[in-house]
Amino acid sequence: MSVLERLYTQEHSMFRESIRRFFAKEVTPYVDQWERDGIVPRELWKTFGAQGFLCPWLPEDYGGAGGDFLYTLIAIEEASKTHCSGFAFPLHSDIIVPYLFNFASEEQKQRWLPGCVTGDVVTAIAMTEPGAGSDLSAIRTTAIRKNGSYVLNGQKTFISNGILCDLVLVAAKTDPGANPPYMGISLIAVEDGTPGFEKGRNLDKIGFHSQDTSEMAFVDCEVPCENLIGQEGQGFYYLMEELQQERLVCAIICQAAAEEALRLTIDFTRSREAFGRPISRFQYISFELAKMATEVEVGRAFLESLILDHMEGAKIVKKASMAKYWIAEMLNRVVAQCVQFHGGYGYMEEYPIARIFRDARVQTIYAGTSEVMLLIVSRLLGL
C-alpha cells in the first residue's frame, strides 16, 4: 500500500463507488453518440452537480463538501474508465473554479460558486489567442475602463467548455501600454449572453471529439467593473499562481489514461491468438508490455509524491512541470505501442484504445507544451 492510499478514508471509498456508478449509468453508454455529436449534453453537468461531484473541495459555505484533493484524483481516475474526454469537469472543478475561490471578492464568490457546484454555472478560461499561445504577454485582447464598465475587444481560440460555458474568465490587457507587458493583464469574468460576447464555432479537432472547444470574440463587450477578478494588472500573477495545480491535474489525467490503455492492451493480448497461442506469450510483446508497465508505475510513484506535497501546501512548480512534461510524453509513448499490439483493431473507432490514442496527442500541447515545461524546468534549475 502506498503512502497516498493510507490517506483514504471510508468517505473517499464511498465517493469512488458513487461516482463509478454514476459514470457507468450516465456516461459510458452514451459516449459514442456524444463523440458523433461533438459535444456532451448540457444537462449532464447539472445531473453530475446534483450528486455532489462538482468542486467537492469547496467549503460548505459555497455549496461544496469541504473535501481534499484526493477527491479530484478519484474522480479523474474513474472518469478515465469511461473513455470519454468530452466531459471536462476537471477543467471546471479543479483549474478554473480555484481562480474564483482564491482571488474573487466575497460578493463574487456568493454570486457564482454555488452554481459552479450544482452545474448551473459551467466555467471556461480564455487565454489563448490566434497569435498568442504560451506567451501570455503577447495577448492583444483589451479591456478599457469606460463609465463604470470594462469594454472588451479581442479574439480568443481553443477555449475548452467554450460552447457550454455560462461564465468565462478572460485574460485581457487593462493597461495595453504596460512595461513589461504582462503587468497590464487582468482577469475579467464575462457571463454568457453579455452583449458583444460571441461564441464561435465548435472546433473540429483530431481528438477530444465530444469536448466543446470554441473560438470567442469580444466586440465592444461592456462588462461591469465589479466583474474584475482580484486586482487590476494582477492577472498574470494569478495565472502563474494556479499553474501548479493545473499541471498536476493534467498529469493525473495523463497517468489515468496511460493506466487504462495498458490495462486494455494486456487484456487484449491475453485473448488475441496468433500461431496457436496468445500474443502476450511472445517474448517481444511480453517484454514491451513489461517496459510499459514499468514506465506507468514510475509515473504513478512520481505523481503520488507530488500529490502529497501539494496537499501539504508545498511549492512544487518545478516538479509539477516535470510531471506534466514526462507523464504526458509517457502516455503518448505507451498508447502508441498499445495501438500497435491491437493490430488492425487498434485502428478501429469501436475499440477504446483508438480513442485514447487520438485523445492523448493533445496532452503534450495544451496547458503548456512539453517544450515550455522543459523551459520552465531549465530556468528553475538555474540554467
Provide the annotated active-site residues: 246
Q: Distances from the Cα of 342 to the Cαs of 273, 285, 334, 356, in angstroms? A: 11, 11, 13, 13
Alpha-carbon distance of 178 to 276, in angstroms, equals 71
3-state percent helix, strand, coil for the chain, nearest multiple of 5: 55, 15, 30
Which pairing describes strands 213-224 and 197-202: parallel, antiparallel, or unpaired?
A: antiparallel
Largest CA distance in the chain: 79
- Residue with the three cell numbers 482577469: 187
Alpha-carbon distance of 378 to 382, in angstroms, equals 7
- As given in the structure block, the three cell numbers for residue 277 are 497461442
84, with CB counted inside 10 A (0-12, 13-18, 19+), is buried
Residues in Cβ contact with 156 at an 8 Å cutoff, skipping those fewer than 6 apart: 126, 127, 128, 129, 141, 170, 215, 216, 217, 218
Collapsing DSSP states into helix, strand and coil, what is residue 335?
helix
What is the number of other CB atoms lying within 10 angstroms of the CB of residue 346? 21
What's the angle, vertex CA 100, arms to CA 373 and CA 122, rounded to 5?
A: 90
159: which strand partners?
A: 214
